[in-house]
Amino acid sequence: MVAPRVVVVALWTLAAAPAAAQTTPYVPPAGDRWERRPPARAGFDSVALAKAVEFARNSDNGWPLDLGIQIRAQTAREPYPAVVGPVKDRALSNGIIVKGGYLVAEWGNTSQVDMTFSVAKSYLSAVAGLAVDRGLIPDVNAPEGALIRDGGFDSPQNARITWHMHLNQTSEWEGTLWGKPDVADRRLGYDRRLQEPGTVWEYNDVRVNRLALSLLRLFGRPLPDVFRESIADPIGMSDTWRWHGYFSANTDIGGTIMPSVSGGGHWGGGFWASTRDHARFGLLFLRRGEWGGRRILSEKWLDLSTTPTPLRPVYGYMWWLNTERRQYPAASARSFFALGSGGNVIWIDPEHDTVVVTRWFDLGRLNEFMRLVTAAHRD
């Protein structure tokens, strides 16, 4: 009686295995063994996609390869222009197109590790998502200072700031961090009067860096270690990426001096990675936080991250949105983006099951590139 039961179980297992494999969307294994698919098989018009790729090849932004020159030129008119973090030379324009998880097109040097500027903010958002998913942040609408008691939220202005405000850049946080006062990046006016937290949207790297420090205190570990263990390694990112802070951005956490990362390369530092690694990160978000059947980030967090901020409907939790196609008219309204200075872009398009990464792209030509890619879809 036992033998037939074993046989039946074995046959059921063999029969079920192919069906299970079909229900798990393809993700590339770790390393460079990323399965390629011809454009036509992936659902593109081959000629139209080749036109889009050729357009991209000819869309380098023209920045000097020495990014120190570019950064100093961009910050020259700021009240606190000093570069205070590491900088590296860049590659030429390059990119990658992934559809259905498969590599469909690739141009330029996609393996070089480069600065990404504000693309780093979307990586920081992902780490915040880990904190929410683990209960380290029980309520994003609670005051940040209730959990972070390092003096940064003691003032009447800062005491009212919630995690939600910090994540969608409406915090109006006031203070100095790593030698940079928040006024150093008040893009709505260096001498403007601060308003009630939650009532003004302003892109401000000092405030983003303050969020990074708060997350460091929550985890009690350097954020690159948290990201590597919980996201980068599970999705097969290479070991070449780096996440830098400023030279002075070190603080005592439980008796150990730890670095605090920056959420951009405005004054140097930030998240440095290859185009291929960015594509994996984008694919994780296209897959709604799941990778090969393993849950990395909750769908709840994905929804929070991509909910429009009323004061800035094209912005979520450090992801740019295409609400009503206001950001890039040529892309689908469901698209969302990690955007960094210099044409560093991770474009996630759930409508077409596509991730596109561009590096050092002329931003004035980006919408036309998106039009060409979108037009090349046959589905």
**Each residue of 294-350: pLDDT tens digit?**
999 999 999 999 999 999 999 999 999 999 999 999 999 999 999 999 999 999 999
3-state secondary structure (DSSP) of residue 5: helix
Q: In this model, does residue 53 exceed pLDDT 70?
A: yes
Match 């998502």 to its residue by tokens.
129
Question: 18-35, pLDDT tens digit by residue?
Answer: 444 457 899 999 999 999
Q: Token pair of 167, please?
A: 């994540």
The structure tokens listed for 303 are 């929804």
- Please give the structure tokens belonging to residue 131: 């904190």
Exposed, middle or buried: residue 199 (CB in 10 Å: 0-12, 13-18, 19+)? exposed
- Per-residue pLDDT for 16 more than 80? no
Mean pLDDT in residue range 166-173: 98
Which residues, in sequence order, are CB contacts of 140 under 8 Å at separation 6+? 132, 162, 163, 164, 167, 304
Average pLDDT for 146-167: 98
pLDDT tens readout for residues 71-121: 999 999 999 999 999 999 999 999 999 999 999 999 999 999 999 999 999
Question: Span 174-194, mean pLDDT?
Answer: 96
% of the chain residues with pLDDT over 70: 94
Q: Which domains does the chain have, with CATH numbers?
A: 28-376 (3.40.710.10)
HSE (side-chain half, CA atoms, 13 Å) at 301: 26
| DSSP conformation class of 145 | G
Q: What is the pLDDT of residue 379?
A: 78
Residue 75, pLDDT score: 96
CA dihedral 244, 246, 248, 253 (to 10 degrees): -50
The span from the CA of 86 to the CA of 273, in Å, is 14
